[in-house]
């Protein structure tokens, strides 16, 4: 859908900037609630316009500030000013700047002053956070000051964990401030009483907006905001965000787009300049840095020493597998018995909570964590962030570093530990980006159609709707501002009858027109279905990991029900055979078997466990960092600043092959073993490389080069074939320009997508979000396989019989930016047109070594599944003929 231009703010939009310098006086650690609040000294401020004279604070609140010897910070006052004029505002501030109080202060004052008369249930402020834990955390830190100020303000949380009775009561008698999640807002809006519940809504606070907006959850929330604005036309939004590359996208998100074709309307913005710059070091270990891998095992001794030299270190890694690995390695050398914990998304919630509590109480010295600790919550006095492996993106690095030292005025300390030689370059690039305060730009978001389908059904559950009115309302949400009427109508049609070209389901329509032209749900069962399927988070099927004692296989399992350690992906569990060992939840486990939805394991003492390869959290290298890495690579003058092994490696590459210019792509072809290799270095991240590899393999196959397989990492990909690729090129039978032509994104891509497992996975997510397939609910999974219909079958049938179907369109849009990263691949192919630097070599080049070493470690693609079956059949035949001989 066409996207409206994001323009510079209109004249009417006010830009207020407050810059704060760190103050040495402010370095004393304060209790958490205070850290949220204010600072003693009024900081030197810089504003783009003359400051307004703020109205005095209500006595109770002023007294509270005064009692502590504090004054409200400039941005807190700026937000109060904006609120008085009912202007929606985006507050961009680093952690520790008192963002949360700034967001709540206007509401506290209004509620205290009793400015507005109640016309509905009395819900005044809605605080929406991406994490339910964050909602709980904020409640704790909000109730304290409210009590101390002596205000009569009722605050409550509402999340999926809130009891049913309480949730029911909240719909009738809500608190004045409700702290909740996007999914709960969607659910509340689907109830017939939503207009009454939200009639008094005055302020919506959106926390961690940068983490929420550019996602399907953000789409759903944007649609819900549009509905809230309709119920309460005077509602004001306050967005709280970390620094982002393009604030205008978040500013547009906060306000209604009244003329979607015109330029984007923007909210006000208040920016607090970051505190002290972080101090980032790149670790140089005594052991030589390896060619490949991300585990940073070689530097574990130094990492351990750094932990020992600090109070509390957060050790971030990119995948759960790395988390398990690093945890094992650190404990292996933990001679001082330092309390080191583990935290990642697969662990049982209770275990995670234990670690969080221990952190908060200062009982830990280090926690190895994945992105589960990226956001929001303060778990303790972290004074060092260690990043194992490259951070893959500048914004992620800054976010993670911000976890250390939740105060503006002291620099955060961070150590980056590259996992391999390429990652040295990447860490250096990330360090420079952080130095410059650069962020990764996210692609501007076009709202997903599967999310829209879910929302349309939710609105129908609330009350019969007029399609014209709903269309206008939906387009007032920024992600959907470019939605066409035909897309909207097709979505409504999808919700009602599946939206198939073959119009055979009209009789079973879920939405029926009433006399007034409004659409209503056909029966109450549809409402129930909606409520069970609400939300955009669709997890890969997971199995619980349960610890049982000792061996004994399945028989034993039936009797003993042990402790649940966490969850692992089903497809990982499927690879295991009883007796296999793997590391999980910080211990070595022996796989005993699977029953129903549970994996049974026992404790094992294997020296060399097979490490889980579950996918959780593999980020591709960001475009921004990739560019910096390319620039650094092509500029020999900066190599001297790199560690010796890395500088030598690059020197060697200049001797043996060539270093490409920053706007070129290097392609090397060489023989190795009895195979012929083609290695390309696009630096576009693993996902785009995997897609590229698939397409190149298809094309090479068509030319008759007999490709066998390929591997990809973040920087390069290698394809190998039976035929001599170098000689095909030199004889003019293969043109690299044609091989890498953009037209591969046409038919080749289409043909491959028909079979692609990634595409099928993407389709499944869309089918669940759009409500075509019901979610798998815990406990209902048994016997599911024979009964439920696999989305793979649906995908195949749709592609053949209804290729223009809405869900295929939605899945395609996801694939373009998600798992297949086609957009990025397209940009790459356009960029390198006529800029291919080909080198024919006699043997492998230094630069190619890392990616070749991943053969056998990483998954090799292009492997035909029928080939596996054929091999299994051969095995049987061998067995049978062997039997004959004996």
Partner 1 sequence: MNMLKPERIGLDDFADQPVLVCGKTFVAHKSGALYWPAEKALIVSDLHLEKGSSYAVRGQMLPPYDTRETLHKLAILIDRYDPETVICLGDSLHDPAGAARMDAADVESLRMLQENRDWIWITGNHDPSIDRMLAGHVIPEIVVGGIALRHEPHAGACTHEIAGHFHPAARLVFHGTSLRRPCFVGNRLRLVMPAFGAFTGGLNILDVAFEPLFDADGLDVWMLGHEGLYPVAPRLLRED
Interacting residues toward partner 1 by CB under 8 A: 494, 497-500, 502, 504-505, 508, 510, 522-523, 525-526, 529, 571, 574-575, 577, 593-594, 772-774, 785-790, 793-794, 797-798, 800-802, 805, 865-866, 868-873, 875-877, 879
Residue with smaller CB distance to partner 1, 571 or 698: 571
Which residues on adjacent β-strands are paired with residue 385?
Answer: 314, 414
Residue with smaller CB distance to partner 1, 321 or 364: 321
Residue with smaller CB distance to partner 1, 789 or 830: 789
**Rounded least distance, CB 801 to partner 1, Å:** 4
**Rounded least distance, CB 822 to partner 1, Å:** 25
Which secondary structure element, helix H or strand E, spans residue 570, and what is its range? Answer: helix 570-574
Tokens representing 751 are 């043909």
**Rounded least distance, CB 870 to partner 1, Å:** 6
Q: Which residues of 356-387 are buried (b: 16+ CB within 10 A; e: fewer)?
A: bebbeeeebbbbbbbbbbbbbbbbbebbbbbb
Residue with smaller CB distance to partner 1, 574 or 615: 574
Closest CA to 747 of 810, 693, 699: 699
Alpha helices in 770-864 (DSSP H): 784-787, 791-801, 806-817, 822-831, 849-853
Q: Which residues of 738-761 are buried (b: 16+ CB within 10 A; e: fewer)?
A: ebbeeebbeebbeebbeebebbbb
Residue with smaller CB distance to partner 1, 25 or 508: 508
| Residue 69 exposed, middle or buried by CB count within 10 Å (0-12, 13-18, 19+) | exposed
Residue with smaller CB distance to partner 1, 574 or 663: 574
Residue with smaller CB distance to partner 1, 666 or 772: 772
Residue with smaller CB distance to partner 1, 484 or 788: 788
**Rounded least distance, CB 804 to partner 1, Å:** 13
Residue with smaller CB distance to partner 1, 333 or 797: 797
**Rounded least distance, CB 709 to partner 1, Å:** 13
Residue 274: what are its φ and ψ, rounded to 5°? -55, 155
Looking only at the bridges linking them, the beta strands covering 519-521 and 511-513 are antiparallel
Contact 745, 826 (CB under 8 A): yes
Residue with smaller CB distance to partner 1, 210 or 805: 805
**Rounded least distance, CB 857 to partner 1, Å:** 12
Residue with smaller CB distance to partner 1, 98 or 709: 709
| Residue 647 exposed, middle or buried by CB count within 10 Å (0-12, 13-18, 19+) | middle
Contact 43, 74 (CB under 8 A): yes
Residue with smaller CB distance to partner 1, 469 or 868: 868
For the beta carbon of residue 811, count every other beta carbon within 10 angstroms: 29
Question: Looking only at Cα atoms, what is the longest distance across the chain?
Answer: 99
Q: Which residues of 98-122 are buried (b: 16+ CB within 10 A; e: fewer)?
A: bbbbbbbbbbbbbbbeeeeeeebbb
Alpha helices in 704-805 (DSSP H): 725-730, 736-739, 747-753, 757-769, 784-787, 791-801
- Rounded distance between C-alpha atoms, residue 195 and residue 185, angstroms: 13
Cα 644 from chain centroid (whole Å): 35
**Rounded least distance, CB 212 to partner 1, Å:** 30
**Rounded least distance, CB 614 to partner 1, Å:** 14
Residue with smaller CB distance to partner 1, 221 or 576: 576
**Rounded least distance, CB 494 to partner 1, Å:** 8
Packing angle between helix 182-189 and helix 216-231, nearest 10 degrees? 40
**Rounded least distance, CB 780 to partner 1, Å:** 15
- Rounded distance between C-alpha atoms, residue 546 and residue 337, angstroms: 27
| Residue 872 exposed, middle or buried by CB count within 10 Å (0-12, 13-18, 19+) | exposed
Residue with smaller CB distance to partner 1, 737 or 875: 875
For the beta carbon of residue 302, count every other beta carbon within 10 angstroms: 18
- Rounded distance between C-alpha atoms, residue 715 and residue 717, angstroms: 7
**Rounded least distance, CB 496 to partner 1, Å:** 8
Tokens representing 424 are 């040295």
**Terminal C-alpha separation, the chain:** 69
The length of the chain, given as a count of residues = 886
Residue with smaller CB distance to partner 1, 117 or 865: 865
Rg (CA), the chain: 29
For the beta carbon of residue 588, count every other beta carbon within 10 angstroms: 20
- Rounded distance between C-alpha atoms, residue 317 and residue 322, angstroms: 6
**Rounded least distance, CB 787 to partner 1, Å:** 7
Residue with smaller CB distance to partner 1, 229 or 760: 760
Residue with smaller CB distance to partner 1, 26 or 802: 802
**Rounded least distance, CB 503 to partner 1, Å:** 9
Q: Please report where in the chains the tokens 């004889």 appear, as a residue.
A: 731
Q: Which residues of 522-541 are buried (b: 16+ CB within 10 A; e: fewer)?
A: eeeebbebbeebbbbebebe
**Rounded least distance, CB 598 to partner 1, Å:** 12
Cβ-Cβ contacts under 8 Å for 286 (sequence gap 6 or more): 301, 302
**Rounded least distance, CB 755 to partner 1, Å:** 9
Residue 870: what are its φ and ψ, rounded to 5°? -65, -45
**Rounded least distance, CB 803 to partner 1, Å:** 11
Residue with smaller CB distance to partner 1, 196 or 500: 500
**Rounded least distance, CB 502 to partner 1, Å:** 5
**Rounded least distance, CB 866 to partner 1, Å:** 4
- Rounded distance between C-alpha atoms, residue 201 and residue 264, angstroms: 25
């Amino acid at each position: 859908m066409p996207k409206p231009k994001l323009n510079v703010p209109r004249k009417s939009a006010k830009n207020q900037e407050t810059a704060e310098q760190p103050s040495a006086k402010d370095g004393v650690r304060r209790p958490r609630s205070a850290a949220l609040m204010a600072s003693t000294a009024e900081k030197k401020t810089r504003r783009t316009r003359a400051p307004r004279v703020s109205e005095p604070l209500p006595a109770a609140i002023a007294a509270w500030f005064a009692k502590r010897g504090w004054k409200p910070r400039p941005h807190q006052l700026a937000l109060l000013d904006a609120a008085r004029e009912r202007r929606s505002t985006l507050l961009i501030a680093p952690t520790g700047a008192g963002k949360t109080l700034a967001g709540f202060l206007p509401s506290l004052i209004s509620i205290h002053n009793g400015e507005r008369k109640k016309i509905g249930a009395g819900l005044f402020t809605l605080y929406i956070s991406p994490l339910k834990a964050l909602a709980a955390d904020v409640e704790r830190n909000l109730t304290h000051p409210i009590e101390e100020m002596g205000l009569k303000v009722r605050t409550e949380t509402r999340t999926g964990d809130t009891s049913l009775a309480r949730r029911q009561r909240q719909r009738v008698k809500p608190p004045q401030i409700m702290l909740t999640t996007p999914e709960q807002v969607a659910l509340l809006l689907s109830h017939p009483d939503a207009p009454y519940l939200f009639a008094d809504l005055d302020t919506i606070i959106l926390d961690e907006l940068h983490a929420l907006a550019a996602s399907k959850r953000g789409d759903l929330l944007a649609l819900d905001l549009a509905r809230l604005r309709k119920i309460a036309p005077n509602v004001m939004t306050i967005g709280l965000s970390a620094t982002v590359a393009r604030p205008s996208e978040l500013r547009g998100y906060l306000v209604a787009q009244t003329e979607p074709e015109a330029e984007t309307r923007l909210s006000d913005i208040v920016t607090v300049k970051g505190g002290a710059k972080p101090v980032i070091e790149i670790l140089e270990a005594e052991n030589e840095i390896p060619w490949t891998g991300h585990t940073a095992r070689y530097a574990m001794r130094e990492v351990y020493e750094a932990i020992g030299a600090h109070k509390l270190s957060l050790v971030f890694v990119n995948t759960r597998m790395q988390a398990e690995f690093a945890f094992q390695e650190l404990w292996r050398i933990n001679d001082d018995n330092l309390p080191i914990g583990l935290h990642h998304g697969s662990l049982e919630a209770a275990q995670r909570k234990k670690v969080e509590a221990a952190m908060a109480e200062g009982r830990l010295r280090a926690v190895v964590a994945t992105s589960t600790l990226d956001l929001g919550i303060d778990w303790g006095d972290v004074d060092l962030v260690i990043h194992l492996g490259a951070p893959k993106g500048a914004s992620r690095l800054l976010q993670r570093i911000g976890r250390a030292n939740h105060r503006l005025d002291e620099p955060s300390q961070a150590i980056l530990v590259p996992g391999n030689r390429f990652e040295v370059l990447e860490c250096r690039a990330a360090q420079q980006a952080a130095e410059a305060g650069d962020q990764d730009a996210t692609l501007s978001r076009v709202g997903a159609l599967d999310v829209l389908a879910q929302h349309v059904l939710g609105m129908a559950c609330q009350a019969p709707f007029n399609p014209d009115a709903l269309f206008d309302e939906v387009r007032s949400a920024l992600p959907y501002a470019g939605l066409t009427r035909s897309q909207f109508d097709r979505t409504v049609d999808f919700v009602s009858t599946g939206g198939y070209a073959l119009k055979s389901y009209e009789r079973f329509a879920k939405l029926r027109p009433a006399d007034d032209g409004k659409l209503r749900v056909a029966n109450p069962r549809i409402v129930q279905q909606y409520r069970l399927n609400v939300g955009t988070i669709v997890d890969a099927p997971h199995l619980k990991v349960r610890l049982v004692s000792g061996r004994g296989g399945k028989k034993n399992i039936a009797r003993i029900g042990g402790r649940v350690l966490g969850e692992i992906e089903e497809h990982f569990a499927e690879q295991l055979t009883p007796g296999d060992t793997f590391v999980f939840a910080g211990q070595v486990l022996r796989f005993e078997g699977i029953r129903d939805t549970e994996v049974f394991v026992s404790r094992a003492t294997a020296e060399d466990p097979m490490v889980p390869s579950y996918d959780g959290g593999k980020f591709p290298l960001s475009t921004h960092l990739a560019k910096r890495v390319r620039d650094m690579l092509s500029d020999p003058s900066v190599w001297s600043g790199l560690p010796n092994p890395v500088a030598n490696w690059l020197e060697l590459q200049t001797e043996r092959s060539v270093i490409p210019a920053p706007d070129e792509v290097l392609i090397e072809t060489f023989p190795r073993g009895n195979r012929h290799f083609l290695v390309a270095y696009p630096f576009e991240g693993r996902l785009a490389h995997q897609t590229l590899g698939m397409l190149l393999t298809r094309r090479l196959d068509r030319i008759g080069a007999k490709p066998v397989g390929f591997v990809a990492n973040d920087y390069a990909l290698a394809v190998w074939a039976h035929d001599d690729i170098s000689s095909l090129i030199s004889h003019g039978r293969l043109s690299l320009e044609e091989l890498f032509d953009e037209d591969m994104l046409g038919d080749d891509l289409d043909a491959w997508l028909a079979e692609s497992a990634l595409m099928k996975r993407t389709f499944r997510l869309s089918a669940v979000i759009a409500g075509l397939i019901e979610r798998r609910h815990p406990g209902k999974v048994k016997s599911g396989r024979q009964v439920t219909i696999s989305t793979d079958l649906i995908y195949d049938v749709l592609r053949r019989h209804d290729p223009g179907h809405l869900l295929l369109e939605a899945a395609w849009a996801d694939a373009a930016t998600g798992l297949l990263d086609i957009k990025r691949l397209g940009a790459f192919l356009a960029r390198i047109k006529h800029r291919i630097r080909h080198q024919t070599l006699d043997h492998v080049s230094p630069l190619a070594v890392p990616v070749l070493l991943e053969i056998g470690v990483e998954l090799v693609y292009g492997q035909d599944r029928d080939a596996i079956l054929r091999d299994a059949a051969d095995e049987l035949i061998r067995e049978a003929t062997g039997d004959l001989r004996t």
